[in-house]
Each structure stands twice: as structure tokens, then as C-alpha cells.
């Protein structure tokens, strides 16, 4: 047993060492003295601080905003490309990134490589130009606050929910009882308010009227091929296309490209690897796994 433990410890050491070496060699965010196009990735589910669980990792909105601020204040960076592959995420995380992009005083281009839905599309909509792959999935402009209701299961097994609250709406989103009509109406009012804010901001970013965007904000996703004519994107292409567009918008012919690689801990890297083998199986487009311990506050995602 002791020998097995030493072997496992040695293998873990090699894994951490190899990751560290790869990080040193392949992560470079040094801005040169030449004209530069900065590329900032937005990958995975967006949360405010990038919380990770045993089931998933997420992208930190604060980390992305820090990268935006670094690129925005560097005089050598002439334009910023956002490389997006994300189904969206929490309201505040998505809003924080969208606001930061909207405040950039340099040309900005978004490229949607695979997914750019919901909150991730909100971020893209604040750039000057959106490019997407022909078969990428984007849009899904809507808000979700759904959760599992176990009240029927509890009744089937003769389990009673003992309700002890000091406010009528304290357990509004508990999965242990059905929503009343009053509670459902109150929740929908709040979801509608978030939806209105979301749609208005996207409409402004895309220079569309509210009426035009209302037709596209029913939660339906679109593919890149269909999205130019309806105004959700400006062109088709890939990352290289986006970089060339950024050079055009910033009036530079040459210039270097600086990748703002994700700064992952070894745990995040391990969880990302694990995700490919297990977590994404059966996950719907733009869906998220809710924290089962969060019974008192409903999780709202876009």
C-alpha cells in the first residue's frame, strides 16, 4: 500500500510539473512595442468569479474584465478580438463582461467559434463587428430561472416538508413544494425585468430596434449561416478572419497578435479534462447544473 501511494504521488508530481512547463512555454501575454491585436478568449459557462465544483468549471467574468482593462490601457494594442465559445451563464457575470466591452475605446471584434448563446451573445453584441463560423450556434436571447420540483416525489414517499420561515417568500424557490400562483407571478415579473434589460442592451449594441430584436428573443438559437440576414452577426469566418477585420478597423496592415490565454490552476485544468469525458454528456445547449444546496435563492441564467 505504501509503495502504491509513492507511485501515485510521483505520477501526480510529474503531471503538475508537465503542466507547469507547458504553461511557461505556451502562455505568453507580453505586449510587444509594435502594433498589436489582443485576443481574449471567453470559454465555457460565465460566472462572476469563476466558481468551480466537482461537476464543472466556469469562466471568471472578473478575470476577463481584468484582461480587457490591461489591453485597453496598453497603447500598443490597437484592437481587441474576443474569441467566444460559451453557452452564456449567470446574469451578473454576463452583464459585467458586456459592460466592459461596451466601454472599450478601441475597435473590437467578436468571433463565435462554436457557441455564442445567451449571455455570451450579450457580450458579443457589444463589439463593433461579429463574425461567426457557418455552423456555430448563437442567439438564444432569453432568461431562465427553472429548477427541479421534488414535491410530487416527496408526496409519493410520504415525506412532509415542514415550512418554517419568517417571511412569506423566503422559501420561494425551494424544490420541496410547488409554487403558488402568486409566487409564480412574482418570479416571472423579475425574469421579465431581466429579459427586458438584456434585450434592450443587445438591441442597442446591434443598432437594432426593440421591435426587430423582440422577434429574435424567444430563446431560439440560430446557426451562423442564418444569422447575417437577421442582423445577429456581420460576417462569416474564423479567428483569422476576425483578426484581419480588427486590423482593418484599426487601420494597421501588419502587427503582432497577442493571445490572452486562460490562467488555469492545476485543479481547473484537471476538471476541464474530466469535463470532456463525463460532464458534457447529456448537457443541453445553454443549460447549466444548479447547485443542489441553493434552496433559498433561485439561480437565474442567461
Q: Which residues contact 131 (CB under 8 A, 6 or more apart)?
A: 109, 110, 111, 112, 233, 234, 235, 236, 237, 238, 241, 242, 245
What pLDDT score was predicted for residue 265? 52
Which residues of the chain register pLDDT less than 70? 1-33, 51-57, 262-298
Distance CA 133, CA 237 (A): 5
Q: Is 301 left (phi over 0), alpha (psi -120 to 50) or beta?
A: beta
Give the residue ranges of DSSP H helices in 148-282. Answer: 151-156, 181-205, 210-214, 224-227, 239-249, 266-274
Q: Give the Cα separation of 161 and 249 in Å (integer).
A: 60
CB within 8 Å of 163: residues ≥ 6 apart: 171, 177
Interval 65-79: pLDDT, tens: 999 999 999 999 999
DSSP 8-state class, residue 110: E
Per the structure block, which three cell numbers stand in for 143? 432568461
Residue 301's pLDDT is 79
**pLDDT, position 3:** 60
How many Å apart are CA 68 and CA 62, to the nearest integer?
10
pLDDT digits (tens, 9 = 90+) for 205-234: 999 999 999 999 999 999 999 999 999 999
Grid coordinates 479567428 are at which residue?
Answer: 239
Using DSSP's 3-state secondary structure scheme, residue 280 falls into coil
Q: Are 134 and 223 in contact (CB under 8 A)?
A: yes
- How far, in Å, are 12, 20, 187, 209 from residue 43 at the CA level? 26, 21, 29, 29
Instruction: Cell numbers for 116, please give them.
Output: 455564442
Q: Which residues of 204-218 are buried (b: 16+ CB within 10 A; e: fewer)?
A: ebbebeeeebeebbe
Rounded distance between C-alpha atoms, residue 76 and residue 106, angstroms: 11
Q: How many CB atoms lie within 10 A of CB 69?
A: 13
Terminal-residue alpha carbon distance, the chain: 49
CA distance 201 to 98: 9
Q: Which residue has the cell 490597437?
A: 78
* Domains delineated in the chain: 31-142+182-279 (3.90.226.10)
Burial of 75 by CB count in 10 Å (0-12 exposed, 13-18 middle, 19+ buried)? exposed
Amino acid at each position: 500500500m505504501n509503495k502504491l501511494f509513492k507511485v501515485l504521488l510521483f505520477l501526480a508530481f510529474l503531471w503538475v510539473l508537465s503542466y507547469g512547463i507547458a504553461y511557461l512555454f505556451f502562455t505568453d501575454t507580453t505586449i510587444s512595442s509594435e502594433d498589436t491585436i489582443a485576443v481574449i478568449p471567453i470559454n465555457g459557462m460565465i460566472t462572476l468569479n469563476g466558481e468551480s465544483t466537482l461537476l464543472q468549471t466556469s469562466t471568471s467574468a472578473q478575470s476577463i474584465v481584468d484582461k480587457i482593462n490591461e489591453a485597453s490601457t496598453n497603447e500598443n494594442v490597437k484592437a481587441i478580438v474576443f474569441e467566444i465559445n460559451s453557452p452564456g451563464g449567470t446574469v451578473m457575470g454576463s452583464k459585467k463582461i458586456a459592460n466592459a466591452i461596451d466601454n472599450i475605446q478601441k475597435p473590437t471584434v467578436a468571433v463565435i467559434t462554436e457557441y455564442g448563446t445567451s449571455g455570451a451573445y450579450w457580450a458579443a453584441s457589444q463589439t463593433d463587428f461579429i463574425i461567426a463560423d457557418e455552423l456555430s450556434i448563437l442567439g438564444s436571447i432569453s432568461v431562465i430561472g427553472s429548477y427541479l420540483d421534488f414535491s410530487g416525489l416527496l408526496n409519493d414517499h410520504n415525506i412532509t416538508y415542514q415550512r418554517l420561515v419568517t417571511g412569506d417568500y423566503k422559501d420561494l424557490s425551494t424544490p420541496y413544494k410547488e409554487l403558488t400562483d402568486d409566487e409564480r407571478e412574482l418570479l416571472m415579473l423579475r425574469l421579465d425585468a431581466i429579459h427586458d434589460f438584456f434585450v434592450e442592451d443587445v438591441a442597442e449594441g446591434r443598432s437594432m430596434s426593440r421591435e426587430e430584436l423582440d422577434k429574435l428573443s424567444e430563446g431560439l438559437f440560430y446557426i451562423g449561416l442564418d444569422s447575417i440576414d437577421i442582423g445577429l452577426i456581420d460576417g462569416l469566418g474564423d479567428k483569422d478572419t476576425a483578426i484581419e477585420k480588427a486590423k482593418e478597423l484599426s487601420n494597421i496592415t501588419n502587427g503582432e497578435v497577442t493571445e490572452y490565454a486562460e490562467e488555469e490552476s492545476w485543479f481547473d485544468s484537471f476538471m476541464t479534462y474530466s469535463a470532456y469525458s463525463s460532464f458534457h454528456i447529456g448537457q443541453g445547449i445553454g443549460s447549466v447544473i444548479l447547485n443542489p444546496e441553493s434552496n433559498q435563492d433561485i439561480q437565474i441564467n442567461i
